[in-house]
Amino acid sequence: DAKTTQPNSMESNEEEPVHLPCNHSTISGTDYIHWYRQLPSQGPEYVIHGLTSNVNNRMASLAIAEDRKSSTLILHRATLRDAAVYYCIPHRSGNTPLVFGKGTRLSVIA
Amino acid sequence: GAGVSQSPSNKVTEKGKDVELRCDPISGHTALYWYRQSLGQGLEFLIYFQGNSAPDKSGLPSDRFSAERTGGSVSTLTIQRTQQEDSAVYLCASREGTVNYGYTFGSGTRLTVV
């Protein structure tokens, strides 16, 4: 599995954009980049995933570097409900298990 | 159902007793996964099923842990002779099986061994 590096914690003001970085320099060419988040006392929740092109959905945007060695999860307007631990997970296609690292704990300040 | 359902949501057991944790995946999801998360720690993979088969059991911490899946649906994780270090939240996830879908997690079973 590719090794990932994420900041231990980040802080954002409510209603401002948040950019959560992830380095995955050992990612293989066929690994997708998945992002999950875990709110307090809940199971992880799927946020977004992509392979090469930037991706958008109703929750977030995913910007993937051209060399694929890093990616950034973008929350366009942080809300208090977005306070969670965010995990960046390189994952090859198929049903092999996700391997979770320590993630980034995002705090949102009202 | 609409999501992954786990039962019970909380379980307190005495050291040395056996426990069974249940996971009902989303209907039609072929892959099912068990993880555990100790207090303040990350998610630790335990075992995964493709249909009723378990291609990867590498995360089971000891032979006291076992799991089965029947009918390609419900799965049961059994812990025999529970120890205090087994106390954790046990999470189940399922997936339809294509690259275009994420993994859906349940809310977990909080196991406390006293």
pLDDT of residue A78: 96
Digit-coded pLDDT (tens) for A14-50: 999 999 999 999 898 889 999 999 999 899 999 999 9
> How many CB atoms are closer than 10 A to CB B51?
14
Residue of A nearest to B99 (CA): A93
Lowest mean pLDDT, pick from A36-45, B21-30, B40-49, B99-108: B99-108
Half-sphere exposure of B71 (CA within 13 A, CB side): 8
Contacts of B13 (CB under 8 A, 6+ apart): B19, B82, B111, B112, B113, B114
Average confidence (pLDDT) over B33-44: 92
pLDDT of residue B97: 67
Q: How far apart are CA B111 and CA B95, in angstroms?
A: 24
Q: A with B: how many residue pairs have Cβ under 8 Å apart?
A: 50
> Are B102 and A96 in contact (CB < 8 Å)?
no
What is the percent of chain B where pLDDT is above 90?
77
